[in-house]
Amino acid sequence: MTQLAIIIGYLLLLLGLGAAASKFSRGTSRDYLLASHSIGPVLLLMSLFGTTMTAFALVGSTGKSFQLGVGVYGLMASSSGIVHSLCFFLIGVKLWKLGQRHGYTTQVQFFRDRLGSHRFGYLLFPVLVGLVIPYLLIGVLGAGAVVNGVTRGTFAEAFANSGHGVPPWLGSLVICLVVLVYVFAGGMRGTAWANTFQTAVFMVLGVVTFVVIAREIGGGESFLESLRGATSRVLEAHPEKLVMKPPKLFFFSFLLIPLSAGMFPHLFQHWLTARSASTFKLPVIVHPLFILIVWVPCVMVGVWATSAMVGGQLVFDEPPKNVNTVLPILLGKVAGPVLSGLLSAGILAAVMSSLDSQFLCLGTMFTNDIVLCRRGGAAETDDRRVVRMARLFIVAIVGVTYLLSLGEPAGIFDLGLWCFAGFTGLVPLVLAALYWRRLTLPGAVASVLAMVVTWLTLFLWDMGGYPPDPKYKFLGMLPVATVLAVSTIALVAVSLVTRPPSDDILAKFFTQGSGEDETMSDAPGLPD
């Protein structure tokens, strides 16, 4: 019961933070959706990192390393730090500059302007929403798994089917409601504050979690001895977990997954909140270090869990049916009630710091890209109605996501790969829009349609749909490689055989003083 009380206290603290953020609201839709472009370097760094470090990184990577071994780090984290920073540098800075100049709030607004077509937004919007929902599922499933895992045995008579702990469906519901409340109250400012606080919480407590688990499993007098002890147990019982030599093509295709950050709608919105271009310096430089700090402990804990013993008994006599519960169950076994409650709150912090950004982003896209666009602009709709419509759409999306989570849950890591492949397939579009003058509207449409068709085909035939059957390989690689190749070829080929964009559009985005040169001159470099 102690763990549950700590988790409840943490959730109440977040609600208070959202209420405090609402006191600073300027009462405008722009402030609610973009925090009036007031976010500084530290807040931007913590918000971006908190948003990208989802349940996929914590709960998912631990469960997947339990299954596959230490190579999970090499497959994902080793490239994520570099690729994410490159996306911030090459895409984020330039989009921020264009957003400042032309008043963009969402990706769709940018692409409509760049391609000279309002109709393109009606194609891109449902595609982005369709890709974000699996991303939301990662967080919702992760939250439910964490709450259930850490509270197992709490209720002597109730919830027998859930190990006498809070059922995953109930834990997910409560987390969704809490996030909704502070997003409603504080908007983007509340989201940035909450993300900063929660990123600090899960990073600090993540390190504590790693140390506690290592000491309990390894049993050494010092921390280093504990590390060697925990690893030696794995070496004796499951040596295959410490060696992973994937085929080169398969490994290469995994390196493409982090490119998805270049088209995350919630990252786009966070980029636009920056105070200046120089605000990006700190995220670009420090983000890779933060990824290292989070991913290494998670992967190692998953590997150790395969042979972990507490009180002379294996923690996992057999692999759990739901690998999402590996981390919380392990915490419940090796940590005391108070510590396990605090550490579980840290994991939930990571989950919620991603959910809030995604919720707010979808509401922003709906109001700006669908409602206001059809009505001819914000001039015909007051700020209160804009915020109200954003909130209503957020509720609808959360409801759909939650209902999907009640079905047979997929492994969080597998679901992430399914989702990120689609976003990666859209990255050629944003790179071409920013750096290639020859991109045309038909080329953009062909690229999006090619991505959607290829993505659906591969994941229905090869992955088995939802929940995905982790066969992974197509032509010896993850399907993401094929999706990326097809969308790129379609974009380039169709653009080259269709009429070039107008001089007005090119002048707006590619001449001195209109985006290209000025943006790159202000791009972040090394600190002064």
136-146 confidence digits (pLDDT tens): 887 788 788 88
**Is-contact 263 271, C-beta < 8 A?**
no
27 dihedral zone (left: phi>0; alpha: psi -120 to 50; beta) = left
Task: With cut-offs at 50, 70 and 90, classify the pLDDT of residue 512.
Answer: low
Q: What is the pLDDT of residues 224-276, one digit of tens each?
A: 888 888 888 888 888 888 877 777 787 788 888 889 989 988 888 778 777 77
Q: Residue 34: is its pLDDT beyond 70?
A: no
In a domain, 455, yes or no: no
User: Whole domain around residue 317: which residue ranges?
Assistant: 2-410
The CATH number linked to 63 is 1.20.1730.10
3-class SS of residue 475: coil
In a domain, 70, yes or no: yes
In a domain, 83, yes or no: yes
Mean pLDDT of the residues in the chain: 79
In a domain, 55, yes or no: yes
- Number of residues in the chain: 528
Q: Hey, what's the torsion of the CAs at 44, 47, 50, 51, to 10 degrees?
A: -110
Cis before 467? omega within 30? yes
In a domain, 527, yes or no: no
Distance of alpha carbon 256 from alpha carbon 481, whole angstroms: 7
**Is-contact 338 193, C-beta < 8 A?**
no
In a domain, 463, yes or no: no
Average pLDDT score over residue span 35-55: 65
Q: Residue 454: is its pLDDT beyond 90?
A: yes
In a domain, 523, yes or no: no
pTM: 0.80
Distance of alpha carbon 210 from alpha carbon 216, whole angstroms: 10
| Residue 109 or 14, more confident | 109
Q: How many C-beta neighbours within 10 Å does residue 28 have? A: 15
How much is the pLDDT for 438?
A: 94
If you ran DSSP here, which 8-state letter would residue 76 be given? I
3-class SS of residue 409: coil
Output the six-digit token pair for 258: 């982090």
Q: What is the pLDDT of residues 58-80, one digit of tens each?
A: 777 888 888 888 877 777 666 78
Tell me the percentage of the chain whose pLDDT exceeds 70.
81
| Residue 449 or 197, more confident | 449
Task: With cut-offs at 50, 70 and 90, classify the pLDDT of residue 501.
Answer: very high
Q: How many domains does the chain have?
A: 1
Task: With cut-offs at 50, 70 and 90, classify the pLDDT of residue 5.
Answer: confident
| Residue 516 or 437, more confident | 437
Give the lowest-confidence range in 2-16, 375-389, 434-448.
375-389
* Highest-pLDDT range among 357-371, 378-392, 480-494: 480-494
How much is the pLDDT for 21?
A: 59
How much is the pLDDT for 434?
A: 94
Distance of alpha carbon 443 from alpha carbon 438, whole angstroms: 9
Average pLDDT score over residue span 461-480: 65
Q: Residue 460: is its pLDDT beyond 80?
A: no
How much is the pLDDT for 216?
A: 83
The DSSP result for 263-332, as a single string, is G-HHHHHHHHTBSSGGGGHHHHHHHHHHHHHHHHHHHHHHHHHTT-EETTEES-SS--SSGGGHHHHHHH
Distance of alpha carbon 301 from alpha carbon 327, whole angstroms: 8
Q: What is the pLDDT of residues 325-384, one digit of tens each?
A: 788 788 778 777 777 787 778 778 777 767 777 887 888 888 888 877 765 554 445 667
Distance of alpha carbon 368 from alpha carbon 106, whole angstroms: 8
